[in-house]
Amino acid sequence: MKTTISEVSKYVGEEVTLGAWLSNKRSSGKIAFLQLRDGTGFMQGIVVKAEIGEEKFQDAKALTQESSLYVTGVIVEDTRSPLGYEMQVKDFEVIHEAVDYPITPKEHGPEFLMDHRHLWLRSKRQHAVMKVRNEIIRSTYEFFNDNGYVKIDPPILTGSSAEGTTELFHTKYFDEDAYLSQSGQLYMEAAAMAFGRVFSFGPTFRAEKSKTRRHLIEFWMIEPEMAFMDHEDSLQVQEQYVSHVVQSVLKNCKIELDALGRDTEKLEKIQAPFPRISYDDAIQLLKDKGFDDIEWGEDFGAPHETAIAESYDKPVFITNYPADIKAFYMKPDPERPEVVLCADLIAPEGYGEIIGGSQRIDDLELMQQRYEEHDLTGDAYKWYLQLREYGSVPHSGFGLGLERTVAWISGVEHVRETIPFPRLLNRLYP
Ligand code: 4AD
Ligand code: MG
């Protein structure tokens, strides 16, 4: 019977065959322990000389790291391993012998590993991070589908910029100028007027010259947009959504979180509602913590966000930023027009901003005024203005950065480990 490591629990006491790679190996004179991986998981195979015979045992001892194999044996329970099962190997056949696999079980530096990303992905740690990423994506679709949202795909090649014009990737579109999308938001607003509640999931691009553990050039965003929902309604969706994702990972990625050494007690606490602090109060909090240089009207940097997050054991919303440091489409607070109805959600443990969101301007005249202030001339934004001409309604939305969320939930330090093939300031290879 051919099966996979993820399915072995169904075959206790039975003989099965796996296609696998050898990720590691230890042996003594009489017994060899093969660390097998097949993509679905990791499992130990035990080869006993007295059972398999001298010749086959010597073949097992000579197996090289990352050689591909068909392994046949009996599945037995093993309470010491995270999987709970191991295989008593009866026979194996080498499909392809790997010679001098570059990533050995010893330590390697990050640049070396990044140069070998196409192979590094096979490691237990990277496997665990990608499985967490996959569960976040799965539970995202689950959450929005269960709550009546329609998945809508905004374009990647666009003529407009949602988040400022300085970090755009420029390209030619035949004879026209085009950009890679920084955010699908403007299109998602059009979609919300057609479908009510929508969400997108796709790649976004920012030509940011930032070389930090939180910045990628190409990253994936989940962008919900909701008609007839105000800022407060949107915050409630955000805290419920993030709680759902964290609880789903806790439930469905036990082996992976264990492999990553993640402190799951911290994740257990991530349940809605989340605390909120206004931008004004955050400035005061920072001053109290000894940040003397920060003044009202300035944006927060990573150290500020980390200092604010330290006061909470859940993600915290920082609300109502000054209009001047936020995007053109955010709705001013009617009581206090110098601030906007927006929030950034800051993850705990120093992982920084994972969501940016706001209520959008729905008034045509005010939007026209913003166009003038931001010099949004030309045809590229005409259609966006029309959304305010025909049945405009209060609406809100947000964008969750997938990689920062993966980093936080997995507990990995740098976003370069949270996407299969990271695009960084100095890296387009592999
Ligand atoms: O705060 P941002 O720029 O918001 C928007 O783009 C809105 N248009 C979203 C919306 O309302 N639909 O980006 C949203 C999130 C950030 O909170 C962060 O998690 C992530 O995207 N992000 C990045 N992640 C990795 N690398 C970068 N360079 C990122 N820039 C933003
Ligand atoms: Mg932001």
End-to-end CA distance of the chain: give it in Å, rounded. Answer: 37
217 residue type, one letter: I
Is 162 close to ligand 1, i.e. is its CB under 6 Å away?
yes
Q: Which fold has domain 2-96?
A: OB fold (Dihydrolipoamide Acetyltransferase, E2P) (2.40.50)
SS3 of the chain: helix, strand, coil, percent, to 5: 35, 30, 35
The pLDDT of residue 165: 74
Q: Which among 166, 199, 328, 353 is the best mutation to test ligand 1's pocket, defined by most ligand atoms within 8 Å of the CB?
A: 353
If you take atom 20 of ligand 1, which residue's CA is the nearest one? Answer: 401
From the alpha carbon of 353, which atom of ligand 1 is closest? 17
The pLDDT of residue 105: 85
Is 86 close to ligand 1, i.e. is its CB under 6 Å away?
no
If you take atom 9 of ligand 1, which residue's CA is the nearest one? Answer: 399
The pLDDT of residue 164: 79
From the alpha carbon of 397, which atom of ligand 1 is closest? 11
> Ligand 1 centroid to 256 CA: how many Å?
26
Distance between CA atoms of 398 and 104, rounded to whole angstroms?
A: 42
3-state secondary structure of 106: coil
CB neighbourhood size of 236 (10 A) = 13
Is 399 close to ligand 1, i.e. is its CB under 6 Å away?
yes
Domain ranges within the chain, ordered by starting residue: 2-96, 117-417
> Ligand 2 centroid to 173 CA: how many Å?
28
Closest by CA position to 393, among listed 236, 154, 197: 197
Note down pLDDT in tens along the chain; length 430 residues. 999 999 999 999 999 999 999 999 999 999 999 999 999 999 999 999 999 999 999 999 999 999 999 999 999 999 999 999 999 999 999 999 999 999 998 899 999 999 999 999 999 999 999 999 999 999 999 999 999 999 999 999 998 887 877 899 999 999 999 999 999 999 999 999 999 999 999 999 999 998 999 999 999 999 999 999 999 999 999 999 999 999 999 999 999 999 999 999 999 999 999 999 999 999 999 999 999 999 999 999 999 999 999 999 999 999 999 999 999 999 999 999 999 999 999 999 999 999 999 999 999 999 999 999 999 888 889 999 999 999 999 999 999 999 999 999 999 999 999 999 999 999 999 9
Q: Which among 169, 213, 359, 404 is the best mutation to test ligand 1's pocket, defined by most ligand atoms within 8 Å of the CB?
A: 404
Q: Which ligand is nearest to the CA of 208?
A: 1
Is 208 close to ligand 1, i.e. is its CB under 6 Å away?
yes
Measured CA distances, 55 to 22, 50, 137, 188, 362 (Å): 19, 11, 47, 64, 77
According to DSSP, residue 330 is labeled B
Is 163 close to ligand 1, i.e. is its CB under 6 Å away?
yes
The pLDDT of residue 379: 84
**Long-range contacts made by residues 191-194, C-beta under 8 angstroms, separation at least 24?**
191/150, 191/152, 191/154, 191/225, 192/225, 192/226, 192/227, 192/395, 192/397, 193/227, 193/387, 193/391, 193/393, 193/395
From the alpha carbon of 356, which atom of ligand 1 is closest? 1
If you take atom 30 of ligand 1, which residue's CA is the nearest one? Answer: 215
Contacts of 364 (CB under 8 A, 6+ apart): 385, 388, 389, 392
Q: ipTM of this complex > 0.90?
A: yes
Beta strands in 283-414 (DSSP E): 316-319, 332-333, 336-340, 342-347, 352-359, 395-401
> Ligand 2 centroid to 260 CA: how many Å?
28
Is 404 close to ligand 1, i.e. is its CB under 6 Å away?
yes
Is 215 close to ligand 1, i.e. is its CB under 6 Å away?
yes
CB neighbourhood size of 399 (10 A) = 24
Element (H, E) at 419: none
Superfamily the domain 117-417 falls into: Bira Bifunctional Protein; Domain 2 (3.30.930.10)
- Asked whether this chain's domains 2-96 and 117-417 adopt the same fold, the reply is no
The pLDDT of residue 106: 87
3-state secondary structure of 429: coil
Contact 44, 86 (CB under 8 A): yes
Q: Which among 221, 223, 354 is the best mutation to test ligand 1's pocket, defined by most ligand atoms within 8 Å of the CB?
A: 221
Structure tokens, 251? 């439930």
If you take atom 7 of ligand 1, which residue's CA is the nearest one? Answer: 399
Distance between CA atoms of 148 and 150, rounded to whole angstroms?
A: 7
Is 184 close to ligand 1, i.e. is its CB under 6 Å away?
no
Pairing of strands 150-151, 197-205: parallel
Is 353 close to ligand 1, i.e. is its CB under 6 Å away?
yes
> Ligand 2 centroid to 99 CA: how many Å?
46
Is 352 close to ligand 1, i.e. is its CB under 6 Å away?
no
Structure tokens, 182? 């920084």
